[in-house]
Chain A
Amino acid sequence: MGADPDEELVRRIGAGDPAAVQAMVARKLPRILALARRMLGDAAEAEDVAQETFVRIWRHASGWRQKGARFDTWVHRVALNLCYDRLRRRREWTTDELPEVADETPLPDALPGDEERRVGQALLRIAPRQREAIVLVYYQDLSNIEAASAMQVSVDALESLLARGRRALQAMLIGDDGDD
């Protein structure tokens, strides 16, 4: 793992540099918001998660030291924990546990221009850990090692979650096993 590209910016934030704060928000906010939006499927909740994630960034900036994981990986972990808090709150009335099994019932065919909403619905129907793996690797472009670190699982476990998640999405969106 090479030098952390965010390290200098984090140090400047800890020293109270307003320009570094602006730069950090410009660099990370779109990524954090996209992550929360795809994990939660709700724009307002995603904005709340983004704000809470940044509060934690400001609080920890002056004491941040790279211990294995990169700053970006740590930020993803923080944002994901906040997303899971909200997912658990949604399900509190039934169970504390988040489902491990996806609802793979095929979604209805989309009208033209409706594909985006259909994909969003499908993402919300797969198991949260599978969704997390796909969001981190596919949409956030984290490497397999960074994603596994953010999820606190092995690379093999990450690959298994990715494959199961994609198979579930394929069943819902394409309705077959993807063969030609």
Chain B
Amino acid sequence: MAEKTTQGPMDAGRFAALADGYGSALHRWPQAEQAAAVRFAETEEGRAILRRAGKLDALLDRHRVEQPSPALHGMIVAKAATEVRQVRRRRFWWLGFGLAGVGLAGAVAGLALVTVVNPDIPSNHYVMDANATSFGDAGPDADQIEEDL
């Protein structure tokens, strides 16, 4: 949102346009133009423009709204406890799902790595039974077999 800046003196046209929009109170005017506006406001023309805008401001100032009731304040505060707790619980669950997801992804990645590094050996080269180890068959008759050889 760009704001106009007035470096030099403000002209009557711009001053009147700002008064038309923002009213007679200079604190509501764009900050970048306030210094120039304050200077112009001291002129006869500036005072006349502000006086005109001030008529409507005086009417607008009469419109007041009631302060919030303590009951409304209380209802809003009571609702906060439930809402904030629910959001925190939801976040906790999402964190749990996230961690579970990371764990699952790790397991899948590990399985994939094992599959790549240690692929299945074709069955016509080697048959491993339940008793076989890296050092040979560890079954109950293994020693006997070796001796027979």
Contact = CB atoms under 8 A, between A and B. Distances in A.
A166 B23 contact: yes
Contact of B28 (A33, A120, A141, A173): A141
B125 interface: no
Contact of A163 (B3, B21, B77): B21
B62 to A, nearest CB: 5
A13 interface: yes
Interface centre among B18, B20, B55, B65 (most CB of A within 10 A): B65
B145 interface: no
A115 B62 contact: yes
Nearest to A178: B52
A87 interface: no
Given A144-B30, A174-B56, A58 B91 contact: no
Contacts of B2: 154-155
B63 A116 contact: yes
Contacts of A180: 48, 51-52
Interface stretch (B81-89, B95-103, B114-122, B126-134): B81-89
B10 to A, nearest CB: 15
Interface in A136-158: 137-139, 141, 143-145, 148-149, 154-155, 158
Interface residues of B, number: 43
Interface stretch (A49-57, A76-84, A97-105): A49-57
Contact of B56 (A13, A160, A178): A178
B1 A47 contact: no
Interface stretch (B37-45, B66-74, B104-112, B135-143): B66-74
B47 to A, nearest CB: 11
Contacts of B28: 137-138, 141
A16 B85 contact: yes
B149 interface: no
A54 B76 contact: yes
Nearest to B69: A47
Nearest to B23: A138
A21 B23 CA distance: 35
A33 B3 contact: no
Given A37-B65, A155-B4, A51 B52 contact: no
B87 A59 contact: yes
A174 B59 contact: yes
Interface of B: 1-4, 17-18, 20-23, 28-31, 48, 51-53, 55-56, 59-60, 62-68, 72-73, 75-77, 79-81, 83-85, 87-88, 91
